[in-house]
Structure 1
Amino acid sequence: MRVWSLHPRYLDRQGLLACWRESLLAQAVLAGRTRGYREHSQLVRFRATPEPVATIGAYLLVVAEEARERGYRFDTGRIDRPATVGQAPGGVERVPVTDGQVAHEWAHLGAKLAMRSPERLALLDPVATVEVHPLFVRVPGAVEPWERA
């Protein structure tokens, strides 16, 4: 399971589809609907929030919006608690992610794109500041302790 901290705009088609599918699995785990993956390290940061299911719902909405902008139709009806990020009613707080984690994921994604979608990798500016998913806020630090190297 990979729930990317990076903005979904960087993902290729395969990555975007996998992110959607794996984030729906994360939602099922957080909602208690499945026994598998309960101890998956990627879920630590969602469980640390006041409302884990709403937080993953906010994550999924952004992924679905990116898909919509690319012409895909992800079924947002599958999101248990669609929430927004921020102060709006029903909004969830942003989740911290370290610079080290972002750099780790950026390198991981670059390696994946080099293998399966070099044309997408060529579109990415290697010196630009990497944007994170809007649910997350960057903070200084090393790779997150929950990351499996």
Structure 2
Amino acid sequence: MRLWSLHPATLDRVALVACWREALLAQKVLTGATRGYTRHPQLDRFRACADPLDAIGHYLAALQAEACVRGYRFDGSRVLRMDAVSPGIPLTDGQLAFERAHLRAKVAVRDVAWLPRIPEVAVAAPSFVEIPGPIEPWERI
């Protein structure tokens, strides 16, 4: 499971679609509707929020908004809390830089034309607030 911390506009088509699908799975996990992925480390940052369902709802809403901009049809009715406010989840600049490099490596193989759309300095998704620090401890390197 990869719940990208990068702004959805940074993600290529494959990453955006996969992230949408995996974030919907994360929403299921957070509601207790599935037994798989319950211990996935990327979910810890959503669980740490005052309202985890609001947090994943806000994250999903940002993905859906980007999909709409691109003309994709992501079904917003699948998001339980589409109008949730930003949870302001802390995210280190080291993690953002790591994810930017990780995305660039993937895009270099599958969609070279997308590379110029990945900014030199990573921008966080709307659900996150950038703070100084190294790669997050939950990241699997």
TM-score (norm 2): 0.96
Q: Distance in 2 between matches of 1:95 and 1:76?
A: 22
Native 8 Å contact 2:104 2:118 kept in 1: no
Q: Per-residue deviation at 1:145?
A: 0.6
Q: Distance in 2 between matches of 1:55 and 1:148?
A: 22
Partner residue in 1 for 2:134: 142
Query: What letter matches 1:40 in structure 2?
Result: H
Change (3 A) 1:7 1:26: same
Secondary structure of 1:27 counterpart: helix
Q: Distance in 1 between matches of 2:69 and 2:39?
A: 33
Output one character per residue of 1:64-113: Cα deviation in whole Å (capped at 9) or x when no partner: 000000001110000012233xxxxxx24311000111011011001000
Moved over 4 A (4+): none
Secondary structure of 1:137 counterpart: strand
Native 8 Å contact 2:95 2:136 kept in 1: yes
Pairs within 5 Å for 1:82-121: 82-84=82-84, 91-121=85-115
Q: Could you tell me the percent identity over the aligned residues?
A: 52
Secondary structure of 2:23 counterpart: helix
Native 8 Å contact 2:20 2:63 kept in 1: yes
**Coordinate RMSD, CA, aligned:** 1.1
Q: 2:116 aligns with which of 111, 116, 122?
A: 122
Query: What letter matches 2:87 in structure 1?
Result: E
Partner residue in 1 for 2:124: 132
Q: Per-residue deviation at 1:14?
A: 0.8
TM-score (norm 1): 0.91
- State how many pairs are aligned: 141
Query: What letter matches 1:56 in structure 2?
Result: I
Gaps of 5+ in 2: none
Q: Distance in 1 between matches of 2:116 and 2:125?
A: 21
Partner residue in 2 for 1:18: 18
Does 2:46 correspond to 1:71? no
Gaps of 5+ in 1: 85-90
